[in-house]
A and B are shown apart, each in its own frame.
Chain A
Amino acid sequence: MGILIRGGEIIDPGSGTVVEADLLVDEGVVAAIAPRVDGRGHQVVDATGLLVAPGLVDMHVHLRDPGQTHKEDLRSGTMAAVRGGVTTIACMPNTAPPIDHPTVVEYIRSRAQAVGVCRVYAIGAITQGLAGQALAPIGSLATSGVVGLSDDGAAVANARLLQQAMRYAREADLPIIEHCEDRQLTDGGVMHEGLWSTTLGLRGIPSAAEEVIVARDLLLAEATGARLHIAHVSTAGSVRMIREAKARGMRVTAEVTPHHLVLTDEAVQGYDGNSKMNPPLRSADDIVALRAGLVDGTIDVIATDHAPHAVEEKLVEFDQAPFGVIGLETALGVVLTALVGEGVLPLARALQAMSTTPAAILGVRGGRLAVGAPADIVLIDLRRQWTVDVQTFASKSRNTPFEGWSLRGKAVLTLVGGQIKFSELPVEALS
């Protein structure tokens, strides 16, 4: 028995076309898309008034599994994902042990298979132990199925080591995903360096801390021919340099988080640890540049950098709190409300940045609903008003900067491989 999604507005993010049609899911794939499909023998989902889109692909997620499962694990993280309409996630390697060996990749693959509710791909480490000293076994990691390489949490500080890693990555056709930050310029900073860090008496992280490494990495990627993907871009200067590199024909891609698109450093007032992340929330001018970068394609992807931390870990002095906020369950709602709803970004472009493009960068299937494609689908109610209540989240952690926000637009049904993994539709809609 398959599932007939009836009467929804089917969107193809790549082309922007929206068609009202029926979509039949059977045997885990999209079996048919047509104006009217016979539903006999299948479960029927009434998708009238709902958007039917490819499931979201979040290429920057910290699942904390193995090793820090008090914050999140493969089950809770994937459950959080499907509640946010996400059907594929790529998880970062800063676990304990880190993903610097095929055995850890295999653990994640098999564990996700056993308890996860969405697709999980591993991102391998660039250096052993993420220590920045010696190369991780990139060839073995590639064979074991990682979809990218990163030392996320830090940049590879040794430029020569990064260069060597890029040469291996080029051969394996894996993107190098860099967290661009010069630790010496960060120098213990805990928020953006500017008027607010001065006012609040907190050490600031200058924009230059990100930009000097973006510049360095662009040059190294150009010299080695590697595919570079810049994680969580946060400054106008970074956007400018990426735009120039792309104009020269360089193979570089970039991502931005929802929180960097809507929050400034002013949000740190009150010293709530849920406003602390790295890179930090920056200025209004940076937001303008990030949004412009998304619109003109300089920034390709919206990814959450979902970074769970236990409540007691964030309920400490601001400078002591770990960096990071969760995002899987709020990303779509925030993007639809603050960007699409405000006319900053077209709907198709937003969905493309959250599904089609990240899937392409990682070399995984996703982001397009065509006959034969895996049935990774999200039904989105663009008109649904909801209030962020973190106590209802599937994530084990509560560190969101969006608590209490009124949002418009929500995933109401998520299918992975043709199976319903999350539903908020009324029972009558499912027959």
Chain B
Amino acid sequence: MRERHLLGLRELEISAIQQLLDDADAFVAGDRDAAATRQSLRGRTVVTLFYEPSTRTELAFEIAGRRLGAEVVRCDVDHSSVRKGESLVDTGRTLEALGGEVIVLRHPSAGACDLLARTVGCGIINAGDGMHEHPTQGLIDVLTVRQLRGRIAGLRVAIVGDIMHSRVARSALWGFSKLGAQVTFVGPPTLLPAGMQALGVETVSSLRQGLDGVDVVMALRMQCERQRGGDVASLAEYARDYKITSDVLVQLPPEVIVLHPGPVNLGVELDAAVAYGPQSALLRQVANGIAVRMAALQWVLNEVPSRSQEADRRETPLTSAVPANVH
């Protein structure tokens, strides 16, 4: 079984986070042709397995893999045997048997990547598992701020919106706080999760109070597909209290950075003037997505020798119900 996966930032060593950020920065700074020439992942097979829709993340992983010379294959879940009821575990084992060395998984269930990591021999990269984590997004957010401010330690970050259902909020919390930033969660009382004070995270429902003195404002997409009735009265009601507008930003220093993982519900989380304005780092985040995912793929894959060396000495059990290394 592989040891190295990228399942989340909460349990990732700070040194590993630093390495991933530095590798990503090198890809950003370096010549694009240089990466292509180095081809560090030539001959390796990357499979993307997305059970939820995605533009940025999925395409960034494909581009990132190809840029490093990997063979990138997309498993189109909606047209796969998942439609015939095939389980996640069997799907993962099938992809491994087809030669996949790393699976990039996005799934609506928290812990789906952990499940594959303990039942399948591939390296697993979490591209978003339910409400749990979205580690490459967290790295993008931290990297973006580090590029613009030169540091993370000592900065104050406010994350605004549907914290309860947001994997982006959780990964950002771990990424920023582990590198020394102070994180505040801001949102309606029904969307602020329980127990965060124990982690040293302030939770407030007043936008004005939550943004006071911050260096970074991260707006989150309203996770309508994960909410239950009764969380918010309406998007308009939410926007009234939590939309980041020019009026809101004018109260803050001009160097404040605005982040959003995308896609943006314009008029709900941000207005257009902010989304496309001078403090917005949204497009930089997207561009950083390629470099971060190149770093992630390289980090996960360079742990073991390439597939051809391993093929002879390991067989893949497709039918055993109890995997050898369930923990």
Residues of A within 8 Å of B115, CB to CB, are 271, 315-318
User: Is B110 located at the chain interface by the 8 A CB criterion?
Assistant: yes
Residues of B within 8 Å of A316, CB to CB, are 87-89, 115
Cβ contact within 8 Å between B194 and A198: yes
Residues of B within 8 Å of A9, CB to CB, are none
Cβ contact within 8 Å between A201 and B133: yes
Partner of B111, one of A188, A200, A311, A398: A200
Partner of A201, one of B118, B129, B196, B323: B129
Segment touching B, from A189-197, A213-221, A253-261, A328-336:
A189-197
Residues of B within 8 Å of A196, CB to CB, are 195
User: Is A199 located at the chain interface by the 8 A CB criterion?
Assistant: yes
Cα–Cα distance between A204 and B194 once the two chains are bound (Å): 9
Number of A-B contacts (CB under 8 A): 80
Q: Which residues of chain B (93-122) have a CB below 8 Å from chain A?
A: 107, 109-112, 114-115, 118-119
Cα–Cα distance between A312 and B88 once the two chains are bound (Å): 11
- For the complex formed, measure the closest distance between the CB of B92 and the CB atoms of chain A, giving whole angstroms: 11
Cβ contact within 8 Å between A195 and B228: no
Cβ contact within 8 Å between A200 and B195: no
Cα–Cα distance between A131 and B170 once the two chains are bound (Å): 39
- For the complex formed, measure the closest distance between the CB of B309 and the CB atoms of chain A, giving whole angstroms: 29
With an 8 Å Cβ cutoff, the count of chain B residues facing the other chain is: 32
Cα–Cα distance between A223 and B322 once the two chains are bound (Å): 51
- For the complex formed, measure the closest distance between the CB of B11 and the CB atoms of chain A, giving whole angstroms: 9
Cβ contact within 8 Å between A319 and B110: yes
Cβ contact within 8 Å between B195 and A202: no
Cα–Cα distance between A70 and B327 once the two chains are bound (Å): 24
Q: Which residues of chain A (197-213) have a CB below 8 Å from chain B?
A: 197-202, 204
User: Is B250 located at the chain interface by the 8 A CB criterion?
Assistant: no
Q: Which residues of chain B (120-172) have a CB below 8 Å from chain A?
A: 129-133, 167, 170
Cα–Cα distance between A398 and B321 once the two chains are bound (Å): 11
Cβ contact within 8 Å between B109 and A318: yes
Cβ contact within 8 Å between B321 and A271: no
User: Is B199 located at the chain interface by the 8 A CB criterion?
Assistant: yes
* Contact of A312 with B321 at beta-carbon distance under 8 Å, contacts A199-B170, A201-B130, A201-B167 already known: yes
- For the complex formed, measure the closest distance between the CB of A318 and the CB atoms of chain B, giving whole angstroms: 4
- For the complex formed, measure the closest distance between the CB of B203 and the CB atoms of chain A, giving whole angstroms: 10
Cβ contact within 8 Å between A194 and B133: no
Cα–Cα distance between A188 and B115 once the two chains are bound (Å): 20
Please give me the residue from chain B that is nearest to A206 by CB atom: B194
Residues of A within 8 Å of B170, CB to CB, are 199, 201
Q: Which residues of chain A (167-207) have a CB below 8 Å from chain B?
A: 187-188, 193-202, 204
User: Is A270 located at the chain interface by the 8 A CB criterion?
Assistant: yes
User: Is B198 located at the chain interface by the 8 A CB criterion?
Assistant: yes
User: Is A320 located at the chain interface by the 8 A CB criterion?
Assistant: yes
Residues of B within 8 Å of A204, CB to CB, are 194
Cβ contact within 8 Å between B109 and A198: no
Cα–Cα distance between A199 and B110 once the two chains are bound (Å): 10
User: Is B10 located at the chain interface by the 8 A CB criterion?
Assistant: yes
Q: Which residues of chain A (367-421) have a CB below 8 Å from chain B?
A: 398
Cα–Cα distance between A263 and B201 once the two chains are bound (Å): 26
Residues of B within 8 Å of A201, CB to CB, are 110-111, 129-133, 167, 170
Cβ contact within 8 Å between A197 and B109: no
* Contact of A198 with B110 at beta-carbon distance under 8 Å, contacts A311-B322, A316-B88, A316-B115 already known: no
Cβ contact within 8 Å between A187 and B228: yes
Partner of B132, one of A194, A195, A200: A200
* Contact of A271 with B195 at beta-carbon distance under 8 Å, contacts A312-B321, A317-B88 already known: no
Cα–Cα distance between A202 and B110 once the two chains are bound (Å): 6
Residues of B within 8 Å of A312, CB to CB, are 87, 321
- For the complex formed, measure the closest distance between the CB of A202 and the CB atoms of chain B, giving whole angstroms: 5
User: Is B193 located at the chain interface by the 8 A CB criterion?
Assistant: yes
Cα–Cα distance between A68 and B197 once the two chains are bound (Å): 44
Partner-A contacts on B (CB < 8 A)? 10, 87-89, 107, 109-112, 114-115, 118-119, 129-133, 167, 170, 193-196, 198-199, 228, 321-323, 326-327
